[in-house]
Amino acid sequence: MRPATKRYGIITAVYLAVCIAGMGLFYGLVLSPQNLRRTQLHSDLMDLTEQFDQAQEARTEQSRTRLQERLAAVQKTWQDFVVDPTRASTLAFQIGQMANDLKVAEFSAHRKEAQTQDEMESYKKIEETWLQIAFRGSFESFAQFLNRIERNQPSMFVEEFTLKKNQDPTVQPEMEVTLCYFTERDEPVETKKESKTPKTGVAKPVAQIE
């Protein structure tokens, strides 16, 4: 019969072997796949993070591009409707050139006090400039003149016009046209408190035939 200590040693060794085998089996069946999964998830997370960063950069670039496009559109609209102070004199020359092309007679143009100045005080950067135009010509030339005014860039608005027929049929009728266009202020002004009834649009032109 073996000594008790030897039997205990054998039992302990077998127990340890079983424990080690069990731990190895547990690691192989549970921990190892979890570690692999964790590593894979970490790798996937890194990939997703990189893709997200790239997407963020792409989105930012796209937003920047859209913003630049919108800014360009706003600048184009501004140039279409607002006259730079340095171009105000050239615009008057343009109007004179239109009249010259249509071969009208007795053409004249002078500044007129804006009748909507109070409404424009709510705008910091733009103001209205009014021009009084007068000439003699046929009805056809008058219609062509208005058509060119409406298609002009920057835009001009016909506030009112008057046709004065002469009793002498050999004398062409006199045309008077009041034009309005927006000009950029040399220096922005402080805006006043807006009216409770805001301006909803451009007033309709006034037409008179005498």
Entry pTM: 0.51
pLDDT at 142: 86
Residue 21 pLDDT grade (very low, low, confident, very high; cuts 50, 70, 90): low
Q: Name the one residue in this structure whose structure tokens are 């005498």.
A: 210
Helix (H, G, I), strand (E, B) or coil at 116: coil
**Shortest CA distance to 105 belongs to which of 145, 140, 138, 147?**
138
User: pLDDT digit string (tens) for 49-100?
Assistant: 555 555 556 566 676 677 677 767 766 777 777 777 777 777 888 888 888 8
CA atoms within 13 A on the CB side of 182: 18
Least confident span in 42-46, 105-109, 191-195: 191-195
Instruction: Tell me the average pLDDT across 29-56.
Output: 54
User: What is the C-alpha separation between 159 and 31, in angstroms, rounded?
Assistant: 85
163, amino acid identity:
L
The pLDDT value given to residue 14: 59
C-alpha–C-alpha distance, residues 42 and 35, integer Å: 10
CB 154 within 8 A of CB 88: no
- The string of pLDDT tens digits covering residues 145-169 is 888 888 877 778 888 888 888 788 7
Q: Which residues of 72-85 are buried (b: 16+ CB within 10 A; e: fewer)?
A: eeeeeeeeeebbee
Q: Bigger pLDDT: 186 or 50? A: 186
